[in-house]
Amino acid sequence: MDKINQALPRQSGDMAARLKAQILAGVKDDLVAVEAELAKHLHPQFDRVAMVAGHILFSGGKRLRPLLMILSARLCGYRGDHDAGYATAFEYLHAATLLHDDLVDGGTLRRGKPAAHTVYGNETAVLTGDFLLARALAVAATTGNLDIVRTIVDITEQMSQGEIDQLDKKGSLAITEAEYLEIIRCKTAVLFQGACRVGALIADADPAALEGLSKYGYHLGMAFQMTDDLLDYTADVEILGKKTGADLKEGKLTLPVIYALSRADKPDRLRMETIISDQQFSAGDFKTLIQLLQQYGGIAYTWRRAASNISRAKDALSVFPAGPTRETLLAVAEYALVRKQ
C-alpha cells in the first residue's frame, strides 16, 4: 500500500494511460452498446428533455457505473443480451444526481462544459433530473426482479440522504472524518456497490459472488470519491474539466482538509480556517492552503485511505477465478487511484 502511495506522484501519468487502454480494450463493445441504449430512451417528443438530458448524458462521461454492472454480470457468467439496457439505469441515476447536485452546489462547470442549470435554467435542470430518475426506475422495473428494484430504490434513497447530509454540513468546520465517510458512502459508494450487486443479481449469482462484487463496488466507490476529492486540490484544471478548489468554494470540506485541520497546530489551523471561511479566497490563499494540507499530511493520508480501499476492492474479487473480466475489474480499481480526471 505504501509502495503504491509512494509511486503515485511520479508514475501515475503513465500508469493511468496504460490502465485506461487496458480497460477500454475490455469494454469496447459494451461501451458502444451502452451509448446506443442511453440514447434510445430519450423520447424524441420531448425536445427539451432530449437536449438537457443529452447535455449531461453525452458530455464525455466515463460510463463507469453501467460498465461496472455489465462486467459484474459477465464475471458471474451472464451471457444474455439485456445487460447494456439494464445498465443504463446507473448512468441515468448518476446523471440525475449530477443535474440536481450542480444546481444545489451552485457548480458552474461539469466535464469542461457549463453545468446544465446555468445553460437551461434551474427549472429545466430540476425536471430533467426527475425525468432521468424516473427513467432509471423504469429500467429497474423492466428487469422484473424485485431484488434489483429494491437495490436501485435503496440507492436513490441513500444518495438523496447523503446529499441532504452534505448540504446540512456545508460550511461547517467541525465535520469529522466519520461524517465525511458516511457522506461519501451515501453519495458515491452505494451507487458503485449497487451497480456491481445488480450485475450479480442479473446473472443469478451465488451469495459468495454477490457479496464479493458488492464489497468490490463499495470499496471502489469509497476510493473513487476520495481521489475525486483529492483532484480538487491536485489536478490540472484543463484535464479535470472543472475548477480546482471548487469543493471549498461550495463550502464542502473533504478528507484532505478534515485530516489536516485535525493535525495542525493552533496558528496553522486558524490560517486554514480563515482561508476556508472566505469563499472568495485568492489563488495565493489556495496555494497556501495546499501547502498546509501537504505539511499536515492531509493529501498523503487521503491517498493512503483511497489506496487501502482499492486494496480491499481487489481482495474482494479473489472469490472469482482469474480471467479477462476479473482483470478488467482489477484494472478499473487501479485506475481509480491514479486517474487524472
Counting Cβ atoms within 10 Å, is residue 171 exposed (0-12), middle (13-18) or buried (19+)?
A: middle
Among 2, 123, 238, 265, binds a second copy (CB under 8 A): 123
Q: Tell me: does residue 164 bind a second copy (CB under 8 A).
A: yes
Q: Kindly indicate which of the ranges 17-25, 55-63, 79-87, 100-108 contains the residues binding a second copy, using the contact rule CB under 8 A.
A: 100-108
Q: Is the distance from CB of 222 to CB of 304 less than 8 angstroms?
A: no
SS3 track for 145-189: CHHHHHHHHHHHHHHHHHHHHHHHCCCCCCCCHHHHHHHHHHHHH
CB closer to a second copy out of 190 and 195: 190
Measured from the CB of residue 334, what is the shortest distance to a second copy in angstroms? 33
Q: How many residues bind a second copy (CB under 8 A)?
A: 40
Q: How far is the CB of 187 from a second copy (least distance, A)?
A: 11
Alpha-carbon gap, residue 176 to 199, rounded angstroms: 34
- Give the chain's largest Cα–Cα span: 61
Q: Judged by CB, which is closer to a second copy: 47, or 81?
A: 47
Output the CA torsion sign for 300, 12, 98, 94: negative
Number of neighbours of residue 213 by Cβ within 10 angstroms: 32
- List the grid coordinates of 182: 458516511
Q: Which of 72, 88, 128, 225 binds a second copy (CB under 8 A)?
A: 128
Locus of grid cell 476492492: 313
Instruction: Count the alpha carbons within 13 Å of 183 in the hemisphere toward its beta carbon.
Output: 21
Q: Is 138 in the site for a second copy (CB under 8 A)?
A: yes
Residues 206-225 that bind a second copy (CB under 8 A): none
Q: Is 37 in the site for a second copy (CB under 8 A)?
A: no
Interface residue with a second copy among 23, 116, 140, 191 (CB under 8 A) is: 140
Q: Closest CB to a second copy among 187 and 215?
A: 187
Segment interacting with a second copy, rule: CB under 8 A, options 9-17, 64-72, 156-164, 231-239: 156-164
- Cβ at position 89, least distance to a second copy in Å: 11
| Contact between residue 302 and residue 256 where contact means Cβ atoms under 8 Å apart | yes
Tell me which residues in 49-88 interact with a second copy (CB under 8 A). 49
Residue 246 found at the interface with a second copy (CB under 8 A):
no
Cell of 165: 447530509
Contact call for residue 16 and a second copy (CB under 8 A): no
Considering only 24-32, 97-105, 237-245, 326-334, which stretch makes contact with a second copy by CB under 8 A? 97-105
Which one of 46, 176, 236, 318 is in contact with a second copy (CB under 8 A)? 46
Q: For residue 309, which amino acid is it? A: N
CA distance 134 to 221: 23
Find the shortest distance in angstroms from Cβ 167 to a second copy: 6
Q: Restricting to residues 295-334, name those near a second copy by CB under 8 A.
A: none
CA–chain centroid gap for 198, Å, is: 17
Residues in the chain: 341
What is the nearest approach in angstroms of a second copy to the Cβ of residue 155?
A: 9
Count Cβ atoms below 10 Å from residue 63 Cβ, excluding itself: 21
How far, in Å, CA of 115 to CA of 121, rounded? 10
Q: How far is the CB of 154 from a second copy (least distance, A)?
A: 7
Determine the Cα–Cα distance for residues 67 and 62; give it in Å rounded to an integer: 9
Grid coordinates representing 321 are 477465478
Q: Is 119 in the site for a second copy (CB under 8 A)?
A: no
Tell me which residues touch a second copy (CB under 8 A): 43, 46-49, 100, 103-104, 122-124, 126-131, 133-135, 137-138, 140-141, 144, 146, 149-150, 153-154, 156-157, 159-161, 163-165, 167-168
